[in-house]
Structure 1
Amino acid sequence: MDLVWRIAQVIIPVFLIVALGYVYTRKRHPDYGWFNRIMLDVLTPLLVYTALAGKDFHLAEHTRLLAGGAILILVTGAIAWPLARMSHTDPRTLVPVVMFTNCGNMGLPLALLAFGQQGFAAAVALFSISNVIHFSLGARITSAHASTRDLLLSPLMISSALGFASAATGVRPPDVIFTGMRMLGEAMLPLMLFALGARLTQLKREDIPRGLLGAFARPVIGLAIALPLAYVLQLEGIARGQLLLFAALPPAVMQFLLAERYQQEPERVAAMILLGNALAVVSVPIGLALSL
């Protein structure tokens, strides 16, 4: 019962905010264009930088976890490729959906609630590593014509590079400036969940059949790899929990933006991502049960 209560304490606040975003969007139909742009260009980069550059984050303590996250992404992609062939699905559509988790919108708030501030910075580091791979290799898998240079020069990638540099050198802005940056960045956590709820309004009944493959493959393959990988890397405690939660997360919302940008079956990608995030009510508690 204690474990069930701990899981409930983590997921109830998260899904409450997602539900609020869903209900509000269904009733009001707001235009989120400016909202999404501010989140992507300002709030998310500040969240990433301040978490990585904070005095409570020590890069050397998380090298095995970050290596585990990178290995997990690459191995899931390698397994998803033959799965796409066997299911007669375009690999450029399915593989990135299975490779990359929603470690931003859903993963960061979950990590903060599950592991506290001590584990949150490590979750942001995993988020950054995932984005680096997503905006380089992931973009090239999605489209042979993807401009990796433009993606890697985005505010999010620059803030990740600066954050890791600050973590390695200890050089960061004065506390009076850093505090303001952190306040803005932390506002991103509930907004991410609210935005996820807004996106779920786009899920249609006819999208369910074509979205099931990616929706289920993402957490199932991820956990099947993460469990032995955590043992091989000798991850324990919070580090092991972080990797398993990372593996259990649904597909990354960001992949829909890439699929739409390069016209790689965006409707099918959207179905996989939205259905996967809706089914997170099942996969996330499983991941937390293995993590806590």
Structure 2
Amino acid sequence: MEELLSHVINVVGPVLICALVGYTLAMTKAPFDTKVIGSLVSKVGYPTLIISHLSSHHVAFGSFMYFMGAAAVAVALFGIIGYIFLRIVRLPYRAFLSPMMMNNVGNIGLPVCLLAFGDQGLSYALGFVVVVLVGIFTIGMWLPIGEVSVKSLVSQPVIYAVIIALYLMGTGTKLPGMVNEAMSLLGGFAIPLMLITLGYTLATLNVGSILRGTYLALFHAAMAIVVAMVLVQVFGLTGTERGVFILQCVAPVSVATYLWISIYQEKYAADVAGMVMVSTLLTIVLLPLVLTFLI
């Protein structure tokens, strides 16, 4: 039991410490441009992390694609179940469906999977990240705005990074040593910066309707656990794949979805902020339980 507890602390602890750094920066009013940092992570950090890690062949191409397919099914189920729930409680899906669908598999999921399962776990986790990133820059934008824009997708560097990484994985090609090292260095700043930004963002969110945010976050967590446990059986996921899939499914609501809500569905921005806040805090309790009893 002591060994298990130590493992849980070693996985969750570093994540919380990095997020706490961001929270402290916000509380002390230290200069921190979230737009610049977010742009660096999305345009440089994510793409180079995806290319450098997947090209290292920690997982087989077929296994990665199969896992990514399972992740796509999970996100689709989140959308279907979330839509039905929102109709029942009479909340507008344009404001609340994308937070229901898109988990924070980058800021929270990646570091947790890396610490829990090492390089192989990180590779599988990136499969889930790819699916969610595509979702955020499509459905995550289109729902609040109320229109479909292909330009928003094709202008994202991460899409081309995925294509390059899948080509390298599929052909067994390795990057030249110097290029690989550069990609590794650039991709290395993505995870710590994401965690620091997460802490900073949570500290600066203007949380209004905390009650509504709480019951939405609780439903999201319950839905995620059920979907995760069903799909690991349906897809026959075992070992590292199973553990990573469950962890990514139970990751909290994505902070990124809040941006579009705050701009295009301002009336419900406080409710979504509350959902993000409670969901993230709930993860502090949920992750140790998942690591202890479900993985």
Superposition TM-score tier, normalisation by shorter sequence: over 0.9
* Match of residue 288 from structure 1: 291
* Match of residue 169 from structure 1: 171
| Higher alpha-carbon deviation: 235-244 or 263-272 | 263-272
Superposed CA RMSD in Å reads 1.9
Give the deviation of 1:255 after TM superposition.
0.8
Q: Given that residues 249 and 283 in structure 1 are in contact (C-alpha distance below 8 angstroms), is that contact kept between their aligned partners in structure 2?
A: no
Q: Unpaired segments of 5 or more residues in structure 2? A: none
Structure 1 CA distance, aligned partners of 2:151 and 2:171? 26
1:266 matches 2:273? no
Would the alpha carbon gap of residues 177 and 205 (structure 1) be closer, same or farther in structure 2, given more than 3 Å must change?
A: closer
Structure 1 CA distance, aligned partners of 2:252 and 2:292? 16
1:84 matches 2:86? yes
Structure 2 CA distance, aligned partners of 1:290 and 1:166? 36
The sequence identity of aligned pairs, in percent, is 26
1:234 matches 2:236? yes
Structure 2 CA distance, aligned partners of 1:82 and 1:206? 25
Match of 1:250, SS state, is coil
Residue type of the alignment partner of 1:65: F
Q: Deviations 1:187-228 (Å, cap 9, x if unpaired)?
A: 211111111100111245634123113322222101111102
| Higher alpha-carbon deviation: 140-149 or 183-192 | 140-149
Residue 191 of structure 1, aligned match among 170, 190, 193 = 193
Would the alpha carbon gap of residues 228 and 62 (structure 1) be closer, same or farther in structure 2, given more than 3 Å must change?
A: same
Residue 254 of structure 2, aligned match among 247, 252, 255 = 252
| Higher alpha-carbon deviation: 96-105 or 51-60 | 51-60
Would the alpha carbon gap of residues 45 and 93 (structure 1) be closer, same or farther in structure 2, given more than 3 Å must change?
A: same
| Higher alpha-carbon deviation: 273-282 or 189-198 | 273-282
Structure 1 segments of 4+ aligned residues over 4 angstroms from their partners: none
* Match of residue 282 from structure 2: 279
Q: Given that residues 206 and 270 in structure 2 are in contact (C-alpha distance below 8 angstroms), is that contact kept between their aligned partners in structure 1?
A: no
Structure 2 CA distance, aligned partners of 1:5 and 1:92? 42
1:66-77 equivalent positions in 2, closer than 5 A = 66-77=68-79
* Match of residue 24 from structure 2: 23
* Match of residue 58 from structure 1: 60
Structure 2 CA distance, aligned partners of 1:203 and 1:70? 29
* Aligned residue pair count: 292
Structure 1 CA distance, aligned partners of 2:213 and 2:86? 13
Give the deviation of 1:85 after TM superposition.
1.4
1:149-160 equivalent positions in 2, closer than 5 A = 149-160=151-162
